[in-house]
């Protein structure tokens, strides 16, 4: 018998959480069974964090999902130009406004090692702000975090407990100009 990961979010658990929070709302749940490109929802993401835009959310999410797609297809490149092990159960990510707010709180502290609740994990990177347009910073920062697999052997099955792979095992959020620098953060809720 296979032991299940207790932290794995399943569609069934998410449905129970959603319906518990919204008892009078009819909820339609679509489960993504493949990794495909995300698109900006017709009505936008409807997040209440005005420090970001739907365009930035879409660009970030598309970049992350496209990188995840290479793992799902078994085409991602690792150390020494080897192909990374193909991932299983690698689904398209959707935007979560609550996680965005947590990432914004981390960035608003204006430091690379923000104080976080113990149940929260975050990557934060200070990057030089060379333009008024932060969009390229998101893509480059995500790719920099992702590219650590070019220097560290993943193994098969991957051993993501290596601290050098922390940025690969996690993934970024809101940008804020601080004395010519910008902070990019990504949060993970276990």
| pTM for this model (two decimals) | 0.58
The total number of residues shown for the chain amounts to: 190
Q: How do 176-178 and 121-128 pair as beta strands?
A: unpaired
Q: Each residue's pLDDT tens digit in the chain (190 positions)?
A: 455 555 555 545 444 444 343 332 222 222 222 333 445 666 677 888 777 888 888 888 888 889 889 989 999 888 889 888 888 888 888 888 888 888 888 888 888 888 887 777 777 777 777 777 777 777 788 888 888 778 777 666 655 555 555 555 544 344 445 555 555 555 443 3
Q: Tell me which architecture the domain covering 11-188 has in CATH.
A: 3-Layer(aba) Sandwich (3.40)
């Amino acid at each position: 018998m296979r032991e299940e990961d207790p932290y794995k979010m399943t569609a069934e658990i998410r449905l129970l959480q959603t319906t518990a929070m919204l008892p009078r709302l009819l909820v339609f749940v679509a489960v993504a069974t493949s990794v495909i490109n995300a698109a900006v929802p017709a009505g936008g993401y409807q997040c209440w964090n005005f420090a970001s835009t739907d365009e930035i959310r879409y660009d970030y999410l598309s970049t992350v999902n496209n990188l995840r797609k290479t793992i799902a297809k078994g085409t991602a490149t690792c150390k020494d130009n080897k192909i990374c092990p193909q991932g299983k159960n690698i689904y398209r990510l959707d935007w979560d406004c609550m996680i965005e707010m947590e990432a914004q709180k981390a960035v608003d502290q204006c430091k690379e090692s923000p104080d976080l609740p113990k149940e929260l994990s975050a990557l934060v990177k200070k990057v030089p702000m060379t333009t008024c347009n932060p969009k390229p910073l998101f893509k480059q920062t995500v790719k920099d975090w992702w590219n650590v697999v070019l220097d560290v052997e993943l193994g098969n099955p991957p051993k993501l407990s290596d601290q050098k792979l922390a940025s690969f095992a996690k993934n970024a959020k809101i940008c804020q100009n601080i004395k010519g620098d910008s902070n990019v953060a990504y949060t993970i809720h276990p």
